[in-house]
Amino acid sequence: MRVTTFGEVMLRLTTPRRERFNQARVLEMTFGGAEANVAVSLAILGDEATFVTRLPKNDIAEACIQELRGLGVNTRAILRGGDRIGVYYLEAGASQRGTTVTYDRAGSSVATLDPSEIDWPALLAGNDWFHFTGITPALSEAAAQATRDALKAARALGVTISCDLNYRKKLWSPAQAQATMSELMPMVDYCIANEEDAEKVFGIKAEGAEVEQGRLDHDRYIEVASALTKKFDLKGVAITLRESFSASRNGWSGLFYTDGQACFSRRYEIDVVDRVGAGDAFGAGFIHASGLKRTPQQIVEFAAAASCLKHSIFGDYNRVGRSEIEALLGGDGSGRVQR
């Protein structure tokens, strides 16, 4: 498939060895961001993935573009301008201490873009799929307008559209998110979310679910998916199901609701190396399997397996190929040495 994603890619600075911010003397430099993560995963899986963003003209941004290009992402649509690349600092949690993210992204190049800079009809011509998340319109009104323009162009061209709600309380309030996303969602075909996204953005709650205690009620998640589908006339809703027993140990599975039917994936027990980007890996797996014309059950199994493996990889990007995902789907999850 030809897939385009649009959003912000950031410099990620992580404390080594799960150290605290007030303890670390060096920070490990990588790059990441929701839509960039999806593009990288899709490129590794073999799709033609284009990432659209805006970056400043400096050596850090150039390093980011070179890394994306090296991972197979088409970077020709990346705009250059503005003053800075957004930054986020990550203190990785362990055991009962949760992971902490601190943003330094205000006034980033993509947040200060001029929406008219992007010729969406030309850029999306010939594409099969367009993907964005709720993070992008939260960055600024300019980014929100660029997202609106992209969705209108995609709809006019018959391009399938997916949105990961990805609510970020450090970027906007629930009221702001609801106002903006309620305008965008009627143009979306497939919604990807978790229980917090649906509740914070649209007030749709999975009653009885206690993620922190590891309790999930599947019937309640079906109700959430059904409510989202009806509210925005969606073709389907995919929901990630995380059971957080601790920062180091999670249960993980997924739900895909389409045509009034709910398909749940198998459940994985995960010892977490890095959970950042797992939802994006799920989204990429969902998009890729949908492009392969898999059944709804096969789609959610592929997405859950892809994102399960992401938890074992440091950094935002899911550096996992299709053969590894297929092996896990075939039952090879022992983690034994491959010789």
Please tell me the predicted confidence (pLDDT) of residue 333.
73
- Model pTM? 0.95
Task: Output the average pLDDT for the chain.
Answer: 94
> pLDDT exceeding 90 applies to what percent of the chain?
92
One-letter amino acid identity for 165?
Answer: L
Q: Flag whether pLDDT at 170 surpasses 80.
A: yes
Tokens coding 151: 């969705």
CA triplet 16, 22, 27: central angle to 5 degrees? 30
Q: Give the model confidence (pLDDT) of 106-131 as tens digits.
A: 999 999 999 999 999 999 999 999 99
Tokens coding 102: 């601190």
Among candidate residues 37, 29, 85, the one with its CA nearest the CA of residue 61: 85
Task: Summarize the chain as % helix, strand, coil (round to 5).
Answer: 40, 25, 35
Q: Flag whether pLDDT at 43 surpasses 90.
A: yes
235 Cβ contact partners less than 8 Å away, ≥ 6 residues apart = 189, 190, 258
Q: Give the model confidence (pLDDT) of 308-330 as tens digits.
A: 999 999 999 999 999 999 999 99
Mean pLDDT within 60-85: 98
- Do the strands 268-271 and 236-244 form a parallel or antiparallel pair, or are they unpaired? unpaired
- The answer to whether residue 233 is catalytic is no
Least confident of 10-14, 163-167, 209-213: 209-213
One-letter amino acid identity for 16?
Answer: P
Q: What is the C-alpha separation between 109 and 112, in angstroms, rounded?
A: 5
Matching residue, tokens 């897939």: 3
Please tell me the predicted confidence (pLDDT) of residue 332.
75
Q: What is the C-alpha separation between 186 and 206, in angstroms, rounded?
A: 22
Q: What is the C-alpha separation between 308 and 301, in angstroms, rounded?
A: 10
Please tell me the predicted confidence (pLDDT) of residue 214.
57
If one counts every other C-beta atom within 10 angstroms of the C-beta of residue 200, the result is 19
Among candidate residues 242, 294, 240, 325, the one with its CA nearest the CA of residue 42: 325
Beta carbons of 286 and 162 less than 8 angstroms apart: yes
pLDDT range class, residue 176, cuts 50, 70, 90: very high
Q: Flag whether pLDDT at 337 surpasses 80.
A: no
Beta carbons of 48 and 3 less than 8 angstroms apart: yes
Q: Spot the catalytic one: 164, 197, 280, 316.
A: 280
